[in-house]
Structure 1
């Protein structure tokens, strides 16, 4: 707790820094700046979606130029998660690559371009498509600059093992291409292309980055706290995870353009997805899910990984229903929300919590506030997945899910947003 009577001064160059919240403190470390921007986008996206659902429930007329559900898919995936990636990669990346630390100030132009792009795109999605295309183009330029810089860092590094950083840089560059494609789809007023781009962004940018980072960091965190656990995962696990995500992306894109699909192909999907679901859930048990429940931060990390297996299992069930009914019956958006809110959302929550604590001079643990928010997040995922499968209760469950999501993400953003704007309590740089 900060002492209001003390104006503690920590020397950073020639300018003293007070213990009060200051905008300039965001420039003390890359994770501060990028995470703060990500938290802003996350909170704004959550409030926007809650407001839109409430307006729909009250039957208020709304007519954005892009379907609201598609705006939701775009914002709740690509609007904030890449910002959290940036904070993580430019904080942990130099250490992985044994390169000098990156200054937050040097990232500011690209991040400012990206944030400006989202502001313009957000207005354009509701008002004018060409404005939305311009904004998305700025987003793509900002993300491309960040991705190319990280790729250059990987290229310049002399460390012997660059498997994870190369894969992350490849996914980031893929994401840059996807963002430019989204800008083109908006300029052409092509909603099918826009939907395709969103699916590619989820499966070929967001999910692969999380998979690679999980593969590198989760066993390290686990083994450092529970000695009986493995300190590494073999690379075949990473190959299977990335192959799974590539396959699911191809299936998702195919479903947008080829409908209905032959039952034989659907049953092949069921076989592959069921096998992969069992593998992922088995790995979650093998690599410490049960043991990690004793340690909150590990439980949060492993809980997100469990949702990956659940999402694949739901996909298998959904495709089985489609195969048996000539694509007439399915689980709808349940598998996608298990993936996006469950795996991506919970993993993001846990990783950003860990980085914010460890690099903020605080104990690397989940206190009562964060632990409570995490379980509300789990409830939000369950409610949203249930809403996709229970048509009669869909609206009520969805409203409950978005309310829980807003509580979690706004509470989380306010808590860590306060940390990002104040110096480390231990007096060290960063």
Structure 2
């Protein structure tokens, strides 16, 4: 993996010269600013978790004011995704809503507040739960400010199609509720409530936002990739894509009958995997972006299948698959989709080719290895070594991507155009 990261760093150096990089250019467009904050938080949290696991493997105690498992769940669910969402929303949103572009400067204060809040939460996880609660309050208010700005855009729009914007606003509001619930849980030392906040954030905020954004991209490739899905009506498409994650969320509710839910999950998994297998992106460099999106879509089907199998094992009195289905969903589906979509937006708005180059493809392959290692560790097949290796792979992906795309965000457009 060290050789991969070295080649990625060398490629980044060839693509741009450091003397042209300027933080002022991050204010040139909402995606530059939002992605920069998201990438910085993603890299920071990946390195933090790798350091924590390495310390525990060596028998060292990092010191915890908040238990590690719920802290990890909260930070990795809500810690960096909303910043990427903000960059996407305020770049694509005005075009969807037929409104003028949004000035990135108007987003600077809430995004900095959001980032500072998570840095405070991270410190509080080890130092004091009340400090983490204070940081969580800053996070919630920062995200609320961004959401109110987007709500104002939606109110001002007279565009005939506002379906996606409305869904995103509704999911974002649930995100505020999840952040406030986490703040309350940290202040009260209520671990079950903290877990509930992370679950609410994942199933009712992050996953719906990703699914709606994914649905919005269907017309870009449906004619050659997903003709059957494209033939459905717009709302039917969206409900179909939301159904699988919703079933997975229901599987985590105690007391529900296992066999019927396992059967529904298996059917949903077969449908999604069949679509992924029918997807035929173009060969060569030009098809890499679509292959990355297909990989994420495939991981969603795998996650549903693993959840169905886990429920079936539990129904016959055997141990389930632990967190394997959850990590196939988060690290596989969400991770692949985030890397693909954010790379596409960063390339398109920096004047670079939309085709994924070799360095980007190596990152994607390293992410696949990380997902497989994490799945091996979840049921106990690979033990702590597999878990540490998975964390190292994700840290490599997160930091290399943040370095490479972060440099693009602070550079002039490669094609010489303004913006």
Query: Structure 1 length normalisation: TM-score?
Result: 0.89
Give the drift of 1:155.
Answer: 2.5
Question: Aligned runs of 1:17-416 on 2, under 5 Å?
Answer: 20-221=20-221, 223=223, 226=224, 232=230, 234=233, 235-252=235-252, 254-255=253-254, 261=255, 265-286=257-278, 288=279, 290-292=280-282, 294=284, 295-325=287-317, 328-389=318-379, 391-416=380-405
1: CA distance, partners of 2:225 / 2:50: 43
SS in 2 for 1:291: coil
SS in 1 for 2:281: helix
1: CA distance, partners of 2:333 / 2:411: 30
Per-residue CA deviations over 1:380-429 (Å, capped at 9, x if unaligned) read 0011011112x252211111111111111111111111111111122323
Give the drift of 1:3.
Answer: 8.4
Give the drift of 1:248.
Answer: 2.8
* Counterpart contact for 1:97–1:159, Cα < 8 Å: yes
Higher relative contact order (CA 8 A, sep 6+): 2
* Counterpart contact for 2:74–2:198, Cα < 8 Å: yes
1: CA distance, partners of 2:47 / 2:226: 43
2: CA distance, partners of 1:3 / 1:208: 36
* Counterpart contact for 2:303–2:328, Cα < 8 Å: yes
1: CA distance, partners of 2:71 / 2:61: 17
Query: Structure 2 length normalisation: TM-score?
Result: 0.91
1: CA distance, partners of 2:404 / 2:393: 17
Give the drift of 1:20.
Answer: 0.9
Give the drift of 1:183.
Answer: 0.5
Per-residue CA deviations over 1:127-186 (Å, capped at 9, x if unaligned) read 111111111011001111111221221222111111111111111111111111110111
SS in 1 for 2:416: coil
SS in 1 for 2:378: helix
* Counterpart contact for 1:22–1:422, Cα < 8 Å: yes
Per-residue CA deviations over 1:35-63 (Å, capped at 9, x if unaligned) read 01111101111100110111111001232
Moved over 4 A (4+): 1-4, 226-231
SS in 2 for 1:339: helix
Mark the runs of 5 or more structure 1 residues left unpaired by the alignment.
5-17, 256-260
* Counterpart contact for 1:114–1:140, Cα < 8 Å: yes
Question: Judging changes above 3 Å, is the alpha-carbon distance between structure 1 residues 219 and 303 closer, same or farther for their aligned structure 2 residues?
Answer: farther
Per-residue CA deviations over 1:64-121 (Å, capped at 9, x if unaligned) read 1111122211112211111111111111111111110011100011111111111111
Give the drift of 1:301.
Answer: 1.1
Give the drift of 1:237.
Answer: 2.4
Question: Judging changes above 3 Å, is the alpha-carbon distance between structure 1 residues 293 and 138 closer, same or farther for their aligned structure 2 residues?
Answer: farther
Question: Judging changes above 3 Å, is the alpha-carbon distance between structure 1 residues 3 and 159 closer, same or farther for their aligned structure 2 residues?
Answer: closer
- The alignment yields a C-alpha RMSD, in angstroms, of 2.0
Give the drift of 1:229.
Answer: 5.1
2: CA distance, partners of 1:82 / 1:2: 28
* Counterpart contact for 1:168–1:209, Cα < 8 Å: yes
Q: How many residues align?
A: 402
1: CA distance, partners of 2:261 / 2:406: 42
1: CA distance, partners of 2:63 / 2:83: 29
